[in-house]
A and B are shown apart, each in its own frame.
Chain A
Amino acid sequence: MKPTLENALRNGESCELFELDTTAKIVGFDDTRLKFVDVSQEHGVAARVVADGKLAQGYVTKVKELESLVRRVSANTKLCDEVSFTFAPAADFPALELARPEVIAYSFEEMIRSGEQVVKIIKDYDPAIKTTFSISTTTNSVRVMNTNGVDVSYKKAMASYGMVGQLIQPNNIIQLLKGSKGLGLPQDPTVLARELVSDMALAKRTVPFSTGSYPIIFTPEALGDIFMAFVGAVSGDYVAKGMSPLVGKLGDRVLDERITILDDPLHPEGTFSAPTDDEGTPCKTKTVIEQGVLKTWLADRRSAAEMGIEPTGNGLRNTAFEKTKSFTVGVHTDFTNLMMKPGTAQYQKMIEQIDVGLEVHYITGILLGNLINGDFSGNLEVAFKIVDGHKVGRVKDVMIAGNFFDLFSNNIRAIGDTGFWTGSFGGGSGSLYLPHIALDRVEVSARE
Chain B
Amino acid sequence: MIDMIEDILGKYRGLVDYLEIRLEEFQVTDIAIRKTKVEVLREALELGGCCRAIYKGGIGFVSFTDLDRMESLVEQAVAQARSIGREKTHLASVEVIKATYQPTIKGDPRDVNLAKKLDILKAYNEIILASDNRIKVSSVHYHDEFKNLYFGNSEGTLITQARMDLGAGFTAIAVGNGETQYGHAGIGSSNDFNVIYGRESEIRQACADAVALLDAPSIKSGKYTVIADPKLAGTFAHEAFGHISEGDNVANNPNLLAIMKLGSVFGSPVLSIYDSGLDEGSRGFIKYDEEGTPSERTELIRNGILVGRLHSRETAGMLNEKPTGSARAIDYRCPPIPRMRNTCIQGGTSSFDEMIQDVKLGVYAIESMGGQAEETFTFTAARAYMIRDGKLAELVKNVTISGNLFTTLKNIDMVGNDFQQEESGGGCGKGDGWKFQFPLPVATGSPHIRIQETIIGGQ
User: Quick check: B48 and A61 within 8 Å, CB to CB?
Assistant: yes
Contacts of B43 in A (CB 8 A): 58, 69, 72-73, 76
Contact status A364-B434, CB under 8 Å: no
Q: How far is the CA of A33 from the CA of B369 in the complex (A)?
A: 37
Which residues of chain A are near B400, meaning CB under 8 Å?
Answer: 365, 368-369, 377-378, 399, 401
Choose the segment among B54-62, B189-197, B199-207 that binds chain A (4+ C-beta atoms closer than 8 Å): B54-62
**B354 contacts chain A at the CB level, 8 A cutoff:** no
A447 at the interface (CB under 8 A from B): yes
Is A39 an interface position by the 8 A CB rule? yes
- B51-72 CB mask vs A (1 if < 8 Å, else 0) is 0000001111111111001000
Contact call B66/A81, Cβ cutoff below 8 A: no
Interface residues, chain B, with chain A CB atoms under 8 Å away: 30, 34-48, 57-66, 69, 73, 76-77, 80-81, 83-84, 86-87, 114-115, 118, 136-137, 173, 175, 178-182, 221-223, 252-253, 255-256, 258-259, 333, 335, 369-376, 378-380, 398, 400, 402-404, 406, 429, 432, 434-437, 455, 457-459
Nearest CB in chain A: distance from B74 CB, A: 11
Contact call A368/B61, Cβ cutoff below 8 A: no
One of A41-49, A150-158, A195-203, A280-288 at the interface: A41-49
Task: Give the distance in Å from the alpha carbon of A46 to the alpha carbon of B104 in the complex.
Answer: 32
Q: Which of A43, A69, A128, A367 contacts B370 (CB 8 A)?
A: A367
Q: Which residues of A are found within 8 Å of B175, using beta-carbon distances?
A: 242-243
- New contact pairs (13) apart from A65-B45, A108-B83, CB-CB < 8 Å: A38-B335, A42-B48, A168-B258, A168-B259, A172-B375, A211-B221, A242-B137, A243-B180, A326-B437, A330-B42, A370-B398, A379-B378, A400-B457
Task: Return the contact of B402 from the options A35, A69, A172, A397 (Cβ within 8 A).
Answer: A397
A80: which B residues are within 8 A, CB to CB? 38, 41
Contact B65 A377 (CB under 8 A): no
Instruction: Given A173-B374, A365-B378, verify A372-B60 contact (CB < 8 Å).
Output: no
A38, B359: Cα distance in complex, Å? 54
Residues of B within 8 A of A245 (CB): 178-180
Let me know if A175 and B374 touch, CB within 8 A.
Answer: yes
Q: C-beta contact mask, A388-424 vs B, less than 8 Å → 1, else 0? A: 0000000011011100000000000000000000000
Cβ-defined partner of A79 (8 Å) among B41, B86, B136, B406: B41
B38 near A79 (CB under 8 angstroms)? yes
Interface residues of A in 31-84 (CB under 8 A from B): 31, 33-44, 55-62, 65, 69, 72-73, 76, 79-81, 83
Question: Using Cβ atoms and an 8 Å threshold, which residues of chain A touch B57?
Answer: 33, 35
Question: In the complex the two chains form, is B115's CB within 8 Å of A79's CB?
Answer: yes
- Out of B35, B39, B62, B403, name the residue touching A38 (CB < 8 Å): B62
CB neighbours (8 Å) of B372 from chain A are 364-365, 367-368
Q: Which residues of B lie under 8 Å from residue A112 when comparing CB positions?
A: 84
Q: Which residues of B contact A125 (CB under 8 A)?
A: none
From B48, B61, B73, B458, A36 is in contact (CB under 8 Å) with B61
Q: Which of B436, B455, B458 contacts A447 (CB 8 A)?
A: B455
Q: A322 an interface residue at 8 Å Cβ cutoff?
A: yes
Which residue numbers of A lie inside 8 Å of B, CB to CB?
30-31, 33-44, 55-62, 65, 69, 72-73, 76, 79-81, 83, 108, 112, 128, 130, 166-169, 171-173, 175, 211, 241-243, 245, 302, 319-322, 324, 326, 328-330, 364-365, 367-370, 372-373, 375, 377-379, 381, 396-397, 399-401, 425, 443, 445, 447
Q: Could you tell me the distance between the alpha carbons of A397 and B402 in the complex, rounded to whole angstroms?
A: 8
Query: Given known contacts A322-B434, A381-B376, is B65 in contact with A61 (CB within 8 Å)?
Result: yes
Q: Are B58 and A59 in contact (CB under 8 A)?
A: no
Q: Would B457 and A401 count as touching, CB distance under 8 A?
A: yes
- Whose C-beta in chain B lies nearest to the C-beta of A424? B434
Distance of A171 Cα from B402 Cα, bound (Å): 16
Q: Sorted from nearest, which 5 A-B pairs have the closest CB atoms?
A: A365-B378, A168-B255, A173-B375, A368-B380, A399-B457
Smallest distance from the beta carbon of B315 to chain A beta carbons, Å? Answer: 11
A62 vs chain B, min Cβ distance (A): 5
Q: A167 to B253, alpha carbons, bound, how many Å?
A: 10
Q: Are B64 and A40 in contact (CB under 8 A)?
A: yes
Nearest CB in chain A to that of B86: its residue = A34
B residues in contact with A30, CB < 8 Å: 252
Q: Assess the A166–B178 pair: CB atoms within 8 A.
A: no
Known: A34-B84, A60-B45, A322-B435. A241 touches B180 (CB 8 A): no
Q: Which residue of A lies closest to B139 (CB)?
A: A241
